[in-house]
Amino acid sequence: MAKKKAKPKKNARRAGTSKGGKSRERTPGGASKPKSFDAMFESSCKTRDISEASYSSADANIDVSGYVRTGSFPLDLIMYGGFPRGRISEVYGDESVGKSTLCEHAIANTQRMGGRVLLLQADHGLDKVHARRAGVDLAGLQPRTPKTLEDMYGIVESFLDAEIAFPQGPGPIIVVDSLGALSTANEYDGDRYGGGMGERARTVSESCRRLPYRIGRAKAAVIIVNEPYQIIGSRVSGMQTTGGGKALRLRESIRLHMRKLDTIDGPGGDVDGILTQVRITKSKVCPPWRRLTVPIYSDRGIDPYLSYYYGFCPAWPNAKPRSSIFGKKAGSSWHYVQGADGKKKSFHLRDFHHYFVDDGFETHLQDQLIRTYPDYPKFLRDRREILGSLPDETLAAWCADTDYGGEQDA
């Protein structure tokens, strides 16, 4: 005898439906659906065992817009402020072109702003007298000499962790001088070929993947000094590469190539310094492939006053000045500069700093130099620290003379 089917009750409803017949949305775990995008995003990250520091909005909005001045206003101008904070920068070139001197001026400017300094030197090449003349406070300097490349990155990680826990000033600066002078652990222990080809590049690549998060949190400006090497066995003669291969250059934000142009002769015929060409070969913060001539003296480093003269002629000596306020008298070693009052003043290059005693002369040169770069207003309007001592009314008048004058909120 067949059994009769049980009739459903009138008040019964299917599971997962409300009284109105609408389905109730539930997550697979049984919890109710999050009410916002942020709540659902954080809940999903927690279920995947992702660390809170990786997806926290507080860490995602880290401000790394600061810069470290280089000691030369024209160089700061083409770099849009100097060495960027929270990023990795590289300075490379042949010997005796001023790489360490440029780093010393960056260290001195960081100390003036109250930031900490970590100097990692592999060859004990710090000249304390020269560094003091460049403005470095030796009492606040923390030089370290790592044995291997792995030790160097370990010191950097420890310094950044301490800086994140106990910040000081706008941010620290870390200078590695130099990467090419450090050996790997296998090479230091005597196993010269134990790591195989590309061991240094693999070590640098691994460390560069671990450091960016800490560098951004600490707002540190990391400057790595490097040297070029000849590529052995290349079909093209003269091909060069730098220590670390392509691993470092792919992860840095700005790369400067320094090359010697000429020497600076003193009154007695001796060499007092050199003229170095600085070329931006890679940049994520400013237009690349721009170049500038920087005067570097043996006794005091970068000359901040004479830098203005070469700032108006960045491709010296094969190009004319960018502005007519500078010029040279024919058949003579005398030069002239047009002041803010419109009068021309004669000078020798070695005595150019005497004119900076007058109030407003440096501001006049900065104003005229910025006007020679028509693409700068769009990028520099919100970066007040790049413009030096220019008053607000001068900046407003300068922006009004450009095509970007009306884009105040751009």
Is there a contact between 308 and 353 (Cβ–Cβ < 8 Å)?
no
pLDDT number for residue 408: 36
Q: Which domains does the chain have, with CATH numbers?
A: 61-303 (3.40.50.300), 320-399 (no CATH)
Give per-10-residue mean pLDDT for the chain (410 aa): 58 52 50 74 77 58 74 88 91 92 94 93 86 90 88 92 92 90 81 66 84 90 89 72 80 92 82 91 89 90 88 65 72 74 78 72 80 62 50 53 38
pLDDT digits (tens, 9 = 90+) for 82-124: 899 999 999 999 998 999 999 999 999 999 999 999 999 888 8
Query: What three-state secondary structure class fits 228?
Result: strand
Kindly tell me the burial class for residue 343, based on how many C-beta atoms sit within 10 Å of its own C-beta (0-12, 13-18, 19 or more): exposed
pLDDT number for residue 311: 83
Phi, psi of 385 (to 5 degrees): -70, -20
DSSP annotation string for 257-310: EEEEEEEEE-TTS-EEEEEEEEEEEEESSS-SS-EEEEEEETTTEE-TTHHHHH
pLDDT number for residue 383: 52
pLDDT number for residue 331: 64
Query: What three-state secondary structure class fits 186?
Result: helix
Query: What three-state secondary structure class fits 32?
Result: strand
> How far is residue 280's CA from residue 288's CA, in Å, rounded to a whole number?
5
Is there a contact between 275 and 261 (Cβ–Cβ < 8 Å)?
yes
Closest CA to 290 of 371, 168, 375, 217: 375
Kindly tell me the burial class for residue 68, based on how many C-beta atoms sit within 10 Å of its own C-beta (0-12, 13-18, 19 or more): buried
pLDDT number for residue 407: 38
pLDDT number for residue 401: 45
pLDDT digits (tens, 9 = 90+) for 314-339: 665 555 666 777 777 766 677 778 87
pLDDT number for residue 93: 92
Radius of gyration of the chain (CA): 29
Strand locations in 330-370 (E) = 335-338, 344-347
